[in-house]
Amino acid sequence: MQKLYQLFNRQIFDDKLPACKIRTRNLKGMSGRTEAVSDRPKLLIYIDLHKRLTIADRYDTLLHEMVHVWQYENDLDMDHGRTFWKKVYQIKRLYGIEIYYGGEISD
């Protein structure tokens, strides 16, 4: 998944996203989440993916979470508001990739 993150970062986000640690875990009620943890002087960003996702859902959830990392990087609220959907539609328009939203209850 780390390699896929680098690939998506390069292809879709212009290599602008910071390094993230991707973990698979047993999440309750959501397929993925993004968490920024301060570990002075560094900041660690974790993307957690549910360990029971199919491969296709993993790709999709990773991209969804990467939109949150992009929001974080740009000092935007990490939510599913206007900036989230703007980015999702932009990715769809430019790359024909549709980011699935279902399966995630909150993050």
User: Which residue ranges make up the site for Zn ion (CB under 5 A)?
Assistant: 107
In the complex, minimum distance from the CB of residue 61 to Zn ion, in angstroms, rounded to a whole number: 9
By C-beta, is 35 or 107 nearer to Zn ion? 107
In the complex, minimum distance from the CB of residue 37 to Zn ion, in angstroms, rounded to a whole number: 17
Secondary structure element (H or E) that encloses residue 41, with its range: none
> Taken in order 85, 82, 80, 23, is the CA torsion positive or negative?
positive
By C-beta, is 9 or 60 nearer to Zn ion? 60
Residue with tokens 């599913």: 80
- State the alpha helices, DSSP H only, in 30-81: 55-73
In the complex, minimum distance from the CB of residue 104 to Zn ion, in angstroms, rounded to a whole number: 5
Closest residue to Zn ion, Cβ-based? 107
Q: How far is CA 65 from the centre of its chain?
A: 2
